[in-house]
A and B are shown apart, each in its own frame.
Chain A
Amino acid sequence: DAKTTQPNSMESNEEEPVHLPCNHSTISGTDYIHWYRQLPSQGPEYVIHGLTSNVNNRMASLAIAEDRKSSTLILHRATLRDAAVYYCIRQEYGNKLVFGAGTILRVKS
């Protein structure tokens, strides 16, 4: 049970921002939100994670709603290399990461 809900697929134009939504309505106060992505024929790679406040790194930004029931991964300028499956994972305190089916992101040139 992944405990998050993501759209099956999304499409974006190259050089434009992409907002990938994730719903985690049953989240508790100590649960972290992690994002990984998986490029074709590769293992998943870490993107970003957060607990309460918004987070930024060189790859992306993570915006967490005030009630923490949803979050959005933001890719500021999508490139063809960003085409991948993006996994939003809710990590319960003391438990392991549980991957769902993720969102397939397609980037058009």
Chain B
Amino acid sequence: EAGVAQSPRYKIIEKRQSVAFWCNPISGHATLYWYQQILGQGPKLLIQFQNNGVVDDSQLPKDRFSAERLKGVDSTLKIQPAKLEDSAVYLCASSLEEVWGYQETQYFGPGTRLLVL
């Protein structure tokens, strides 16, 4: 079974530029998550999709971050414009389905390491 795919693996940009990350979840997984992981910290959830609908985006800085999952399969996370503090690893995860009250096992991709100069 193929895992969660992410690209690119690394990205270096200058502040105020834009950047996009792509994620392809495990086939058949309805729920997709984007996390931000700053060096030395645990992952922080940015947004959660159930199929192509947003379940939770309360921690997404909406003035500069956007995400979409148009066909309920792969997803794109965009930052525009980037700031220095956006330097982090961006992780995508997927799970089989959203079951209210119970957290299904999440499967994570390798992440995209972003450096903003």
Contact = CB atoms under 8 A, between A and B. Distances in A.
B91 A43 contact: yes
Contacts of A93: 101
Contact of B42 (A2, A41, A45): A2
Contacts of A46: 105-107
A30 B56 contact: no
The size bracket of the interface on B is: 20 to 34
Interface of B: 4, 40-45, 48, 56, 91, 93, 100-103, 105-111
A36 B35 CA distance: 15
Interface residues of A, number: 23
Main secondary structure of the interface of A (DSSP, over half): loop
Interface string A36-80: 100001111110010000000000000000000000000000000
A100 B37 CA distance: 11
A96 B102 contact: no
A80 to B, nearest CB: 20
A42 B113 CA distance: 11
Given A32-B102, A87-B42, A100-B42, 16 more contacts: A30-B101, A34-B103, A36-B106, A42-B110, A43-B91, A44-B43, A44-B93, A44-B108, A45-B107, A46-B107, A93-B101, A96-B45, A96-B48, A97-B103, A101-B40, A101-B41
